[in-house]
Amino acid sequence: MNPEIYAGVDIGSANVICVVAEADEHGVLHITGAGQAPTSGSVLEGVIVDLEGAAEAVSQAVEEAESISSWKIIDTAVSISGSHVRGFPGRGTVNVEREDEFVSGKVTWMDIEDAMETAQLIKLPRESMVLRTEKCGYTIDGSSRLLRPPVGLRAERLTADIYMVTADRTAVLNLEQVILDAGKNVSAIYPAASAAARSVLTPDEMEMGVVLVDIGADTTDIAVFHSGVLAHLAVIPGGGESITRALQQIRIPRHEAERLKREYIDLAGRSKTGNREITVSSFGGRSTIPITDEVVNEIAYRSAGNLIGDILCELKQAGIQESDLPAGIVLSGGTSYLRGLSSVASRIIGIPVEVGKPGGIEMSSSMIENAEFANAVGLVLLSHEEENEYEKRKESNPLGKVASRIKGMIRKLR
């Protein structure tokens, strides 16, 4: 019997990352392969702008992962980012069919589905579509919110609280086309922030209150969790590339700016840096420019400070206070490892900030533990969990999905 194979493809503005995992006989996931390829300008601020280039990058990353894992990928989960990805809460209430005149009925999976559908009855802009619906809890007859579906409990009314994540329909279609052009099928699409959160955050953090901030090249994905459920999701423009562009303003090429980021920047210790002179090539490589590490750090600090300010502004606009976040902020994404970034962010925002790394899965390589692999690792974890949940639902609902839908339609006509 072949093991269950799961794949996740994270199409970022700088790189495409693919992770392949297999589930053993105990249902434990093991990563067996990973691949990475540059997008080379085919993705801008999380949105596909060059189908052919993006498909080629996906093919390269997938082929590398396949060669290491020795498994052929057919279906893959994909993450999506960009400022068009946003979320908002919803609530739906249904009456539970009574057993008789005096006895309340038992909540069924059909009731759960009906309440969820009712919660989604919100008019969206024509260009938007519902990407994911996150379950936030249930209430029966005015009781406190329950995190698990109250199937089997007796009740008069059932209320479902959800958090809907929407995305631009065209951006989603283009993302799907890229995967198809690379010769693969899309099994599911998840917000990048949700995927990163799944692999980086712990249940305790999500229960207490925490923010996952995934800082990529062109976008920063934010997910806030409280009481174990998603409370806010947003994507703001800007990421590590903004620091690179700021450094390029001293008239140096991109590769030199990236070198300065890797070798000389320390945002937390910038005041302790000396006036060490650094020689960098100018545009065209025809001459060199002398600069000090103090100047480099000052430029980077101002740019990083603007990005942190945007994150803080998003949290404040969403009504999220420091007291809501006892577990602080956890960073992921390739930019999160910029030296001193977590310390500076903690000082500006006023709460603890740490760098997270992917977990919850058996790793085959220490490279995959890097924060930039968080999205791809989260994709395989979410795919595995969703399939397990689907199998459990099938076992506990012998009527089957079609019969449940028919019964739901009959009830709505009464």
Q: Are 223 and 197 in contact (CB under 8 A)?
A: yes
Q: Which helix (H) or strand (E) segment is 199 a member of? A: helix 192-200
For the segment 194-208, the average pLDDT, to the nearest whole number, is 96
C-beta of residue 32 within 8 angstroms of C-beta of residue 71: yes
Residue ranges per domain, the chain? 86-168+398-413
In this prediction, residues 183-199 reach a mean pLDDT of 96
Confidence of residue 393 (pLDDT cuts 50, 70, 90): low
Q: Tell whether pTM > 0.85.
A: yes
Name the residue among 162, 301, 308 with its Cα closest to residue 222. Answer: 308
- Residue 281 parent element (H or E): strand 277-281
Q: How far apart are the first and last CA of the chain?
A: 48
295-315 per-position pLDDT tens digit: 999 999 999 999 999 999 999
pLDDT in tens, 27-56: 888 899 999 999 999 999 999 999 999 999
pLDDT band at 327 (very low <50, low <70, confident <90, very high): very high
> Distance between CA atoms of 217 and 31, rounded to whole angstroms?
25
Number of Cβ atoms within 10 Å of the Cβ of 348:
14
Sign of the dihedral defined by the CA atoms of residues 160, 166, 169, 173, in that order: negative
pLDDT of residue 1: 42
- Write the DSSP symbol of residue 208: H
244-279 pLDDT, tens per residue?
A: 999 999 899 999 999 999 888 999 876 565 678 888
Tell me which residue has tokens 């925002």. 349
* Between 4 and 209, residue with greater pLDDT: 209
DSSP assignment of 170-188, as one string? HHHHHHHHHHHHTT-EEEE
**Rounded to whole angstroms, how far apart are CA atoms 334 and 108?**
44
Q: Which of the 8 DSSP states describes residue 228?
A: T
**Quick one: pLDDT at residue 28?**
85
- Topology, domain 86-168+398-413: Dna Ligase; domain 1 (3.30.1490)
Dihedral sign (CA 299, 350, 320, 138): positive
| CA pair distance 337, 389, nearest whole angstrom | 34
Provide the 10 A C-beta neighbour count for residue 334.
21
